[in-house]
């Protein structure tokens, strides 16, 4: 009977996929033209440039100049409040961009000395280049008035801020506004490999944060077209440009010492690790647009601590953002509808190799990593568990996508992780289909084959022998100026495993959908947008038993003082541990900037919630306030807190507090001092638990760092961190202390 069920499921998956792929192929003859009839011509310069925010070179007098004529938010293609010009030219080795940002009140310009990728709250400009002119993926180069760099990749309307490149910038505030000047080496980006001139998509934008966040573009934005890159202006030029040898070598020296108590609270400190070792990373542009990365003995530590997350009464594993450069570069090449690749599972690699790039309509991403530690997340329909084994594994990922016309993309994916008496293999196909400017369909079908070590399988109830199962996901989205709606469907078998991904819930089917309507404020009004919507979803196990059914109503707004907020409620029935609970919950958030140096935000949840540890109904209050303060041009303080209180019929169950304070002082755009303090306090009412546990858990973490950074890969770090723990038997006691340093230098050839 089980085999017949699997055959039926396979048909459910294969037939819709086959129909849609055939539809895509048949539609290829009707794809839109690739370029506009009259692209803007970008002139070439043979003279050198000094990147100093003083536009006095002759090349700028001959450059392509465009005015940013359209306020696209909150106004809808109306005359902007300020005037802005963008200038473009290029030389043999570099692309040059400059902005003149006129401002009637230069004293109100928001700009601070900051680390790269940290100046998102400031006045800023961004130059966006769709170098393959495929309207799918674009490089974004952004600077504030002091030249602080922010770079990211936009792929399918999603921003990948983890990407970093080596480029030059400068900014200067003047008596009439401010100037930005940018130089991007051609060996830092990828582009077409063709003879003759190239056509790229190009958008120039300026953020002007005052009463509202005013977005100003060089091109109009049609809110009934969900594809922003499809609306980019076309520019032509770049004939004969190459990335040169396109070789980057980054040797690294890493040192550190960790002392740890033999036992808490009275054990003596012992040196657990004391070492200075070298590492090496390299990048080679095999072609104009294919890059090979390699690393040996890399420093995969994260200099910035992860933000603490509340993990009480959470049945499923929590995810954390990836910040390690080897994995963040080209991460968008491996993205899919569902997270089939989650690189944080790779904990302590010895070495790694990665190939990414695009040739014509073909996009390829692949990597191979040897890891010293094997992390597991064991998924389920109602909860997940995890463990870590001190054994090596080899992980490989292969990703291929093919563009089919302007609207369709087909993809293949395979992942494989092999260890001692263990493997997890996954293969799948996916499609991204733009039916219209407003309608998009995404599909993904995966199959997995897994075998765990016998002891691990028994301990975590993973059955015996091989586990084989399927994963199918469908998502339809309609996004227009006023109306939007969506419909999603998931079907995941109970034995499906994606050990190199993040899919902590399996063994379910889900259907959900919703609709929303947006009102656009008139120019000059106190509010810029107001949205109301509703959604419905239904989860059931593979055997059709109910997991969750939910109905929700919500609303959100944006207004003056850069304010935004949302509020909503839902009624739902959730099944857990053999019981069904009827629940009601309310949620929302509010944020605003009363003046340029203060930003406040608070999120809240309150209402019913299951006590998953004891399988009973409970009531929860959750508050997450945040306050960010800028103290002059150089200093910033961030305060983040999470408070949660949960009770059951017999009284309080627990109270949780998580606090983080981050203080940063920037000497200049290359140098800063930073401290991070994190404090966790969980207070349990043990009399209301059906099992034994400590009544108190405390954790205090501190990190102090000095950073000197010339570019993302030429850096010097030195720092200190420690951890304190407390239980019901003892108060906070230092458990460990670590001194660390890192020195790396990027040679670019």
Cα–Cα distances (Å) from 459 to 378, 392, 453, 468, in that order, read 11, 20, 10, 19
CB crowding 443-453: b at 16 or more within 10 Å, else e = bbbbbbbbbbb
Cα–Cα distances (Å) from 451 to 1, 461, 601, in that order, read 23, 13, 46
| Residue 511 is assigned to a structural domain of this protein | no
pLDDT of residue 475: 97
pLDDT of residue 324: 79
10 — pLDDT class (breaks 50, 70, 90): very low
Q: HEC states along 541-597?
A: ECCCCEEEEEEEEEEEEEECCCEEEEEEEEEEEEEECCEEEEEEEEEEEEEEEEECC
Output the DSSP codes for 123-170.
Answer: -EEEEEEETT-SSSEEEEEEE-TT--EEEEEEETTEEETT-----EEE
Say how far residue 702 (Cα) sits from the centre of its chain: 25
Output the DSSP codes for 74-104.
Answer: SSSSB--SS-EEEEEEE-SSEEEEEEEEE-S
| Residue 175 is assigned to a structural domain of this protein | yes
* SS3 label, residue 50: coil
Q: What is the mean pLDDT of residues 342-360?
A: 90
Backbone angles phi and psi of 260, in degrees to 5: -140, 145
Count of helix runs (H) and strand runs (E) in the chain: 4, 41
Give the Cα separation of 561 and 539 in Å (integer).
40
Percent share of the chain, pLDDT over 90? 79
68: nearest Cα among 104, 108, 107, 98: 98
302 — pLDDT class (breaks 50, 70, 90): low
Question: Bigger pLDDT: 185 or 244?
Answer: 185
pLDDT of residue 371: 93
Mean pLDDT of the residues in the chain: 91
CB 153 within 8 A of CB 131: no
pLDDT of residue 413: 97
Residue 124 belongs to domain with CATH number: 2.60.40.1190
117: nearest Cα among 593, 709, 601: 709
| Residue 58 is assigned to a structural domain of this protein | yes
User: What sign has the CA pseudo-torsion 117, 661, 271, 741?
Assistant: positive
DSSP-assigned beta bridge partners for residue 404: 408
Give the Cα separation of 631 and 102 in Å (integer).
25
Cα–Cα distances (Å) from 42 to 91, 442, 462, in that order, read 11, 36, 60
Residue 21, pLDDT above cutoff 70: no
563: nearest Cα among 222, 71, 74: 74
Q: In 210-289, where do the E strands start and end?
A: 213-217, 233-237, 247-261, 269-285
Answer whether the bond into residue 694 is a cis peptide, omega within 30°.
no
14 — pLDDT class (breaks 50, 70, 90): very low
Give the Cα separation of 66 and 89 in Å (integer).
12
Backbone angles phi and psi of 416, in degrees to 5: -150, 125
CB proximity list for 330: less than 8 A, separation 6 or greater: 163, 291, 293, 354, 356, 365
**Dmax (CA) of the chain:** 79
Backbone angles phi and psi of 410, in degrees to 5: -110, 145
Q: What is the mean pLDDT of residues 343-364?
A: 90
Residue 39, pLDDT above cutoff 90: yes
Question: Bigger pLDDT: 668 or 4?
Answer: 668
pLDDT of 47-85, one tens digit each?
889 999 999 999 999 999 999 999 999 999 999 999 999
pLDDT of residue 23: 39
Other Cβ atoms less than 10 A from the Cβ of 690: the count is: 9
DSSP class of residue 245?
A: T
DSSP class of residue 374?
A: E
| Residue 165 is assigned to a structural domain of this protein | yes
CB 471 within 8 A of CB 428: yes
Residue 405, pLDDT above cutoff 90: no
Per-residue tokens: 632: 């002059």
pLDDT of 456-487, one tens digit each?
999 999 988 899 999 999 999 999 999 999 99
* SS3 label, residue 258: strand
pLDDT of residue 301: 58
Strands 40-41 and 233-237: parallel
637: nearest Cα among 648, 645, 647, 626: 626
Backbone angles phi and psi of 379, in degrees to 5: -85, 160
| Residue 562 is assigned to a structural domain of this protein | no
Question: Bigger pLDDT: 275 or 644?
Answer: 644
Give the Cα separation of 71 and 77 in Å (integer).
5
Q: What is the mean pLDDT of residues 501-529?
A: 94
Question: Bigger pLDDT: 324 or 232?
Answer: 232
Helix (H) or strand (E) holding 5: helix 2-26
Backbone angles phi and psi of 531, in degrees to 5: -130, 135
pLDDT of residue 194: 87
Burial class (CB in 10 A: 0-12, 13-18, 19+), 337: middle
pLDDT of residue 219: 95
Backbone angles phi and psi of 686, in degrees to 5: -65, -25
pLDDT of residue 480: 94
Give the Cα separation of 652 and 54 in Å (integer).
64
Q: How many residues does the chain have?
A: 749
Per-residue tokens: 589: 């958030």
| Residue 354 is assigned to a structural domain of this protein | no
CB crowding 158-197: b at 16 or more within 10 Å, else e = eebbbbbbbbbbbbebeeebbbbbbbbbbbbbbbbeeeee
CB 353 within 8 A of CB 293: yes
pLDDT of 170-188, one tens digit each?
999 999 999 999 999 999 9
pLDDT of residue 20: 43
| Residue 228 is assigned to a structural domain of this protein | yes
Question: Helices marked H in 379-532 — which ranges?
Answer: 454-459
DSSP-assigned beta bridge partners for residue 607: 585, 620
287 — pLDDT class (breaks 50, 70, 90): confident
Strands 671-684 and 374-378: unpaired
DSSP class of residue 229?
A: G
Residue 348, pLDDT above cutoff 60: yes
Other Cβ atoms less than 10 A from the Cβ of 689: the count is: 16
Total domain count for the chain?
1
Output the DSSP codes for 443-483.
Answer: EEEEEEEEE--HHHHHHTT--SS-EEEEEEEEEEEEE-SSE
Backbone angles phi and psi of 436, in degrees to 5: -140, -175
Backbone angles phi and psi of 579, in degrees to 5: -125, 155
Per-residue tokens: 646: 């949960």
Percent share of the chain, pLDDT over 70? 94
Question: Bigger pLDDT: 634 or 195?
Answer: 634
Give the Cα separation of 304 and 717 in Å (integer).
11
* SS3 label, residue 293: strand
36 — pLDDT class (breaks 50, 70, 90): low
For residue 74, the enclosing domain spans 31-237
| Residue 79 is assigned to a structural domain of this protein | yes
CB 541 within 8 A of CB 547: yes
Give the Cα separation of 523 and 129 in Å (integer).
30
Backbone angles phi and psi of 507, in degrees to 5: 70, 45
pLDDT of residue 160: 77
pLDDT of residue 406: 83
């Amino acid at each position: 009977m089980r085999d017949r069920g699997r055959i039926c499921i396979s048909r459910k998956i294969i037939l819709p996929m086959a129909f849609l792929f055939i539809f895509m192929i048949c539609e290829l003859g009707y794809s839109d033209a690739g370029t506009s009839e009259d692209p803007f011509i970008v002139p070439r310069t043979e003279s050198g440039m000094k990147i100093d925010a003083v536009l006095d070179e002759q090349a700028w007098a001959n450059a392509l100049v465009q005015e940013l004529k359209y306020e696209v938010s909150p106004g809808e293609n109306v005359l902007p409040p300020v005037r802005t010009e963008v200038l473009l030219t290029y030389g043999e080795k570099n692309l040059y961009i400059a902005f003149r940002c006129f401002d009637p009140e230069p004293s109100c310009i928001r700009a601070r000395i900051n680390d790269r990728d940290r100046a998102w709250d400031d006045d800023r400009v961004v130059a966006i280049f769709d170098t393959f002119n495929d309207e799918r993926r674009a490089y974004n180069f952004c600077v504030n008035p002091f030249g602080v760099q922010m770079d990211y990749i936009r792929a399918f309307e999603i921003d990948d801020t983890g990407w970093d490149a080596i480029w030059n910038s400068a900014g200067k505030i003047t008596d009439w506004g401010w100037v930005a000047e940018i130089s991007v080496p051609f060996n830092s980006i990828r582009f077409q490999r063709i003879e003759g001139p190239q056509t790229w998509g190009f958008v120039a934008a300026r953020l002007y944060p005052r009463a509202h966040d005013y977005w100003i573009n060089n091109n109009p934005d049609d809110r009934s077209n969900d594809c922003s890159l499809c609306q980019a202006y076309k520019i032509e030029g770049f004939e004969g440009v190459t990335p040169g040898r396109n070789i980057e070598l980054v040797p690294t020296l890493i040192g550190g010492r960790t002392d740890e108590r033999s036992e808490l609270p009275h054990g003596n400190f012992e040196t657990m690790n004391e070492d200075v070792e070298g590492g090496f990373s390299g990048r080679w542009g095999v072609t104009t647009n294919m890059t090979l990365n390699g690393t040996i003995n890399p420093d995969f530590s994260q200099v910035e601590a992860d933000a603490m997350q509340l993990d009480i009464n959470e049945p499923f594993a929590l995810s954390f953002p990836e910040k390690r450069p080897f994995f963040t570069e080209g991460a968008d090449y491996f993205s899919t509808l569902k997270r089939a690749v989650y690189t944080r599972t790779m904990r302590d690699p010895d070495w790694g190799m990665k190939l990414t790039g695009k040739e014509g309509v073909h996009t390829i991403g692949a990597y191979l990593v040897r890891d010293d530690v094997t992390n597991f997340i064991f998924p389920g329909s109602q909860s997940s568990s995890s463990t870590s084994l001190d054994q090596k594994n080899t992980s490989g990922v292969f990703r291929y996508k093919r563009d089919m016309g302007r609207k369709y993309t087909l993809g293949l994916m395979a992942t494989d992780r092999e260890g001692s008496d263990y493997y997890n293999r996954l293969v799948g196909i996916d499609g991204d289909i733009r039916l219209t400017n407003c309608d998009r369909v995404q599909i993904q079908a995966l199959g997995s084959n897994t075998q765990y070590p016998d002891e691990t399988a028994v301990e975590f109830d993973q059955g015996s022998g091989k586990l084989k199962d399927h994963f199918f996901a469908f998502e339809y989205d309609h996004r227009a100026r006023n109306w939007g709606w969506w419909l999603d469907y998931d079907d995941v078998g109970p034995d499906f495993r994606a050990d190199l991904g993040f899919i902590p819930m399996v063994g379910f089917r889900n259907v959900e959908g919703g609709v929303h309507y947006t009102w656009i404020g008139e120019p000059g009004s106190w509010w810029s947008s107001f949205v109301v919507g509703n959604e419905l979803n239904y989860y059931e196990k593979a055997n059709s038993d109910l997991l969750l059914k939910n109905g929700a109503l919500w609303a959100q707004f944006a207004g003056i003082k850069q304010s935004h907020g949302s509020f909503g409620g839902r009624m739902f029935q959730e099944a857990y541990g053999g019981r069904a609970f009827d629940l009601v919950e309310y949620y929302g958030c509010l944020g605003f900037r009363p003046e340029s140096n203060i930003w406040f935000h608070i999120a809240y949840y309150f209402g019913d919630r299951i006590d998953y540890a004891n399988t009973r109904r409970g009531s929860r209050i959750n508050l997450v306030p945040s306050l960010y303060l800028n103290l002059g041009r150089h200093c910033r303080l961030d305060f983040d807190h999470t408070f949660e209180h949960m009770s059951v019929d017999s009284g309080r169950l627990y109270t949780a507090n998580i606090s983080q304070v981050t203080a940063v002082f920037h000497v200049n755009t290359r140098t800063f001092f930073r401290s991070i303090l994190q404090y966790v306090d969980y207070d349990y009412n043990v009399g209301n638990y059906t099992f034994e546990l400590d009544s108190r858990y405390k954790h205090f973490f501190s990190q102090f760092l000095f950073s000197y950074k010339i570019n993302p890969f030429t850096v010097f770090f030195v720092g200190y961190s420690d951890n304190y723990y407390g239980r019901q038997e003892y108060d906070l006691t230092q458990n460990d202390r670590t001194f660390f340093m890192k020195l790396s230098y990027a040679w670019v050839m």
